[in-house]
Amino acid sequence: MLKLVVCIKQVPQVSELPWDPETWHLQRELAEGMMNPACRFALEAALKIRDKIGARITAVTMGPPSAEEALREAVALGADKGILLTDRKMAGADTYTTSLTLSKVIQKIIPDFDLILCGASTIDSDTAQVGPQLAEELDIPGVAYVHELTIAGNKARIRRVADGFSETIEMELPGLVTINTTSEAPRYMSFRGFQQAFGESDIITHDAASLGLHQEWIGARGSATKIRNVYSPIAERGNLVLTGTNKKILDQLFTLFDDRIGGVVGKDLKTEKN
Amino acid sequence: MFFNPTMKHKALRKAVRMFAETEIGPVARTIDREASFPWEVIKKMGPLDFFGLQTPKTFGGAEMDSISYAIVIEEISRVSAAIGLCLAVHNSLSIHPIVRWGTEEQKRQFLPDMVRGEKIGAFCMTEAGIGSDVGGVETNATLDGNDYILNGTKIFVTNGGVCGTAIVFATTDYQNPRQGAAMFIVDRETPGFIVGEKEDLCGMRANPVSSIFLENCRVPSRNMLGAPGEGVTVGMETLNVGRISIAAQALGIAQAAFEDSLSYSKDRQQFHRYLSSFQTIRNYLADMATDIDAGRLLLYRACAAQDSRNSFREEAAMAKLFCSEMARRVTDKAVQIHGGYGYSKEYGVERYFRDAKVTEIYEGTSEVQRMIISRELLARRV
């Protein structure tokens, strides 16, 4: 049977959180967590494949112990198994060490996977890097920003939409896709699924030691990214007041902005005017 | 004593809230204004087990604990109290008595369709002459061979217009109605079961509350719930369970009114200041939040009592009494904070204000709750 792995992330439920002034990491513990929206779409894509041709779905997350909730939610929605990677040593990981850690657990626990599905990006850090980097770590083909996905034999037929164009790609399995939030809307969990996921189901927990990960490779210590400072951009907009007759104002406008206006309307305004 | 919600209860609240805000939120105001029942939303709720929240798994239900059940009703009512009411009456007043007093045959016959939401439940107790005084029931059940023939008129039947299965309170003894009181499970398709006009009510307008006419309605005697004479007990015990769902509903309405007031006070300016900077408004908000929290604690205590032991009558009555009166107070303050806009249908608080009032009336008025609580208090030896 097809083996699918869905990587999910628990993100803060609120849109604005303060940064820790020491580490410049978001103070995620201040807000309730939820499953990252794009990860819900990735799980939905996996569930659609399972509904159609059958598959075994393993959900994986790395995070604090409370990320267990997002895994149970995945199980409630239909995943067969949840794996939680949690360890203080894994905290503060950048996208590189996150992909590395995920690749190690996948190689160890589900080495014979057929397809890995990730959300295209997360709403808290929005780098969109972990999925593609994970494909590199595992040395498998990867396609990002996937909109539609069908599996036939050992190939995935993929339509991806990015940067204003769409393309259809055939990818050999095993491979990796990152799913866009433009694909089909995720389902809701049933209460029977919920009861089973939050009652009887076991979540498998791993720490750095059980995965054989040296602490120099993971978490903040293994991360190449060092955050020096984080700040909100300051919106600086000046007001420009033009005075004079209509013609004079129009002339001033053209002098100041003709390139930009011309670019938008697709005409050379200087030539038009003359 | 343990006051923190478990991971399970927190996750449940998030999941229900997401469904309610996404699927019900966009239509909540329209279905109230047009007094229309949102079948398209209800059809989505069936497969998610909203119609079998506490029903045993063997009959296809989710078999939830009582706190989980209260959370579901609360979160749905936070967005649409009329749909919360539909679920409360279906789960607590229609499915519950079948699960508790029904025979195996009755359970197998009626529960699966109800749990899937294909047949919505209704509870037909109130008549023109009886409300709180259930012993005076006038709807008659006359034995004829293996059937009972029901005659009478039920009013204010929640879900009446859309029900598929009704629990009907009647008496087999016209001379001594209380002694002969009995409950019957009646399928809507039964000849002589006639759904009347929808009531034109102040609130809960999206719920098709209707009259039900029983005209020589022939019901097999195997559809009786419990024995003849047990009708009052079945009815009272059912309403006891129902109180938890009405308290949850009132809590959800109050929560919505509070959240709207909080954000409005941070948005609206008067005298070049935000409303939230005025001490009077801050005091209102503090009182509302405290009131809601007190109600929530009383409700979850009643739920915990229901889950852990048989008797929770006093706790459930206290929760229903407090939460419904609290919802009236909170929605009143919410309208006040919104000023003229609060009195307009353009803002949600106008609907919450209308919806809250009836929680003090149905499934036992506040006066009846006080009667129940005082009776329990006085019956104690110490």
pLDDT(A274) > 60: no
Looking at the fold, whether A123 and A20 belong to one and the same domain comes out as: yes
Please report the pLDDT score of residue B250 as a whole number. 98
How far is the C-alpha of B134 from the C-alpha of B232, rounded, in Å?
Answer: 7
**Set of chain A residues whose Cβ sits within 8 Å of the Cβ of B44:** 188
Query: Is A245 in the same domain as A183?
Result: no
Of B154, B139, B355, B135, the C-alpha closest to B256 is B355
How far is the alpha carbon of B234 from chain A, nearest alpha carbon, in Å?
28
Q: Do A192 and B53 touch (CB under 8 A)?
A: no
Residues A49 and A113 in one domain: yes
* CB-closest option in B11, B57, B63 to A73: B11
Per domain, the residue ranges of chain B are 7-120, 121-231, 232-379
Give the CA distances from residue B277 to residues B55, B257, B349, in Å, rounded to whole numbers and listed in that order: 48, 19, 21
What is the pLDDT at residue A176? 98
Same domain, A158 and A254: no
Indicate whether A20 pLDDT > 90. Answer: no
CB-CB under 8 Å, A69 with B10: yes
Q: Do residue A198 and residue B64 have CB atoms under 8 angstroms apart? A: no
Number of domains, chain A: 2
Decide: B164 and B212 in contact? Cβ < 8 Å: no
Antiparallel, parallel or unpaired: β B224-225 and B181-187: antiparallel
Indicate yes or no: CB of B14 within 8 angstroms of CB of A32.
Answer: yes
CATH of domain B7-120: 1.10.540.10
Query: Residues B23, B40, B363, B367: which is the catalytic one?
Result: B363
**Residue A191 to residue B72, Cβ atoms within 8 A:** yes
Residues A119 and A33 in one domain: yes
Rounded-to-integer distance, Cα B121 and Cα B111, Å:
10
Q: State whether A191 and B19 contact (CB < 8 Å).
A: no
Question: Within 13 Å of residue A183, how many CA atoms lie on the same side as its CB?
Answer: 31
CATH top class, domain B232-379 = mainly alpha
Which residues have CB under 8 Å from A151's CB, separation 6+? A2, A49, A53, A114, A115, A157, A173
My answer on whether A63 and A89 are in the same domain is yes
Question: Do A249 and A193 belong to one domain?
Answer: no
CB within 8 Å: A190 and B64? no
Model-level pTM? Answer: 0.90
Task: Convert the pLDDT of each residue in A210-250 to its tens digit.
Answer: 988 888 888 988 898 888 888 777 877 778 888 889 999 88
Is the residue at A92 inside a domain?
A: yes
Q: Are A137 and A17 within one domain?
A: yes
pLDDT of residue B293: 98
Task: Give the domain extent around A266.
Answer: 238-274
pLDDT digits (tens, 9 = 90+) for B322-374: 999 999 999 999 999 999 999 999 999 999 999 999 999 999 999 999 999 99
Average pLDDT value over all residues in chain A: 90
The yes-or-no answer on residue B230 being catalytic is: no
B53: contact with A, CB 8 A cutoff: yes
Question: How near does any CA of chain B get to the CA of A29, in Å?
Answer: 15
pLDDT of residue A232: 77
As a whole number, the mean pLDDT across chain B is 96
CATH superfamily of B121-231: Butyryl-CoA Dehydrogenase, subunit A, domain 2 (2.40.110.10)
pLDDT in tens, A176-198: 999 998 778 899 999 999 999 99
Q: What is the pLDDT of residues B89-138, one digit of tens each?
A: 999 999 999 999 999 999 999 999 999 999 999 999 999 988 888 888 99
Contact B15 A194 (CB under 8 A): yes
Residue B127: alpha-carbon gap to chain centroid: 18
Residue stretches of chain B with pLDDT short of 70: 382
Q: Within this chain, do residues A245 and A124 fall inside the same structural domain, yes or no?
A: no
Give A199's contacts in chain B (Cβ within 8 Å): 8
pLDDT value of residue A272? 62
Q: Which residue of B has its CA nearest to A68?
A: B7
pLDDT at A87 over 80: yes
Q: Which residues of B touch A34 (CB under 8 A)?
A: 14
* Cβ neighbours, 10 Å, residue A184: 13
Nearest residue of B to residue A195 by CA position?
A: B62
Cβ proximity of A68 and A84 under 8 Å: yes
Is A231 contained in some domain? no
Q: Please name the member of B11, B57, B60 whose beta carbon is closest to the beta carbon of A72.
A: B11
- A37: closest CA of chain B, how far (Å): 12
Tell me: do A105 and A152 sit in the same domain: yes
Partner-chain contact A68 B64, CB within 8 Å: no
Q: Is residue A233 in some structural domain?
A: no
pLDDT band for A270, please (50, 70, 90 cuts).
low
How many residue contacts between A and B have a Cβ separation below 8 Å? 50
DSSP state of B94: I
Tens-place pLDDT, residues A58-75: 999 999 999 999 999 999
What is the predicted pLDDT for the residue at A130?
95
Topology agreement, domain B121-231 and domain B232-379: no
Residues 6+ apart with CB under 8 A from B346: none
Among B373, B319, B353, B362, smallest CA distance to B69 is for B319
pLDDT tens, position by position, A91-144: 889 999 999 999 999 999 999 999 999 999 998 888 999 999 999 999 999 999
Are A163 and A200 in the same domain? yes
pLDDT at position A273: 57
The answer as to whether A228 is a domain residue is: no
Picking from A32, A34, A192, the nearest residue to B62 by CB comes out as A192
Residue for token pair 């940064």: A19
Q: Does A229 fall in a domain?
A: no
B44, B60, B63 ranked by CB distance to A195: nearest: B63
Q: Which of B6, B7, B41 to mutate to test the interface with A (most CBs of A within 10 A)?
A: B7
Residues B268 and B91 sit within 8 Å (Cβ to Cβ): no
Contact status of B43 with chain A (Cβ, < 8 Å) = no
Instruction: Examine the domain organization and report whether A12 and A50 are in the same domain.
Output: yes
Give the span between the Cα atoms of B12 and B14, in whole angstroms: 5
